[in-house]
Amino acid sequence: MKKIEKGKPQLFISARQIRKRIDELANQINEDYRDRIPIFIGVLNGAFIFLSDLIREIKINCEIDFMKLSSYGDQKITSGQVKMIKELNCDVKGRDVIIVEDIVDTGLSIKFINKLIKKGKPRSVKIATLLYKTGISKLDFKVDYIGFEIDNKFVVGYGLDFAQKYRNLKDVYVL
């Protein structure tokens, strides 16, 4: 049996702060895609709550799809390898794509996804992430919509897990 690290989660970003920031991001997206019909691509599992809250503040027409990458398993550190578990069902050719991530840490996953989506020849690709670990990820492209920039902390809640637990918490906590 795998050993699960103990420790009480400490409140880090409250549900109220998240709600406020999502409203701001959604307003920006509504404005940026005024005359377009973007496809939101949620990266499972972590982004499912962020995407579902964000999407309900989107006032323009839009579509949604999901993809899933291999996870870290029950580890708190990246394995350094990314694998596709669930592919997209939609055709992104000529479309405006908004990739929705829970958190950008090393940037490995978003690099992989960005490259893959671009192979499908979309009209445009932008990235939205609830959390962005400043100073860790070395990306050679922009992350367009960032909820909160954070330090190198391991966070859980609001869709983010540790060993598949804590996803149901309304706020974001540091373990």
State the catalytic residues. Answer: 105
Which residue in 82, 114, 118, 120 sits closest to 99, CA to CA?
114
Stretch that binds ligand 5GP, among 4-12, 14-22, 90-98, 99-107 (CB under 6 A): 99-107
Residue closer to ligand 5GP, measured from CB, 53 or 161: 161
Q: Residues 102, 114, 143, 146: which binds ligand 5GP (CB under 6 A)?
A: 102
Question: Does residue 146 bind ligand 5GP (CB under 6 A)?
Answer: no
Site residues (CB under 6 A) for ligand 5GP, limited to 77-96 = 78
Shortest gap between Cβ of 154 and ligand 5GP (angstroms)? Answer: 4
DSSP 76: S
CA torsion angle for 165, 66, 108, 83 (degrees, to 10)?
Answer: 90
Query: Tokens standing for 6?
Result: 């103990």
Q: Does 106 bind ligand 5GP (CB under 6 A)?
A: yes
Question: What are the start-end ranges of the H helices in 33-137?
Answer: 48-55, 108-119
Q: How many CB atoms lie within 10 A of CB 164?
A: 11
The binder of ligand 5GP chosen from 57, 154, 163, 171 (CB under 6 A): 154
In the set 49, 95, 109, 172, which binds ligand 5GP (CB under 6 A)? 109
By CB under 6 A, residue 18 contacts ligand 5GP: no
Mention every residue, 6+ apart, whose C-beta is less than 8 A from residue 82.
Answer: 69, 70, 108, 109, 112
Written as one letter, the residue type at 31 is E
Residues interacting with ligand 5GP, by CB under 6 A? 46, 78, 101-110, 154-156, 160-162
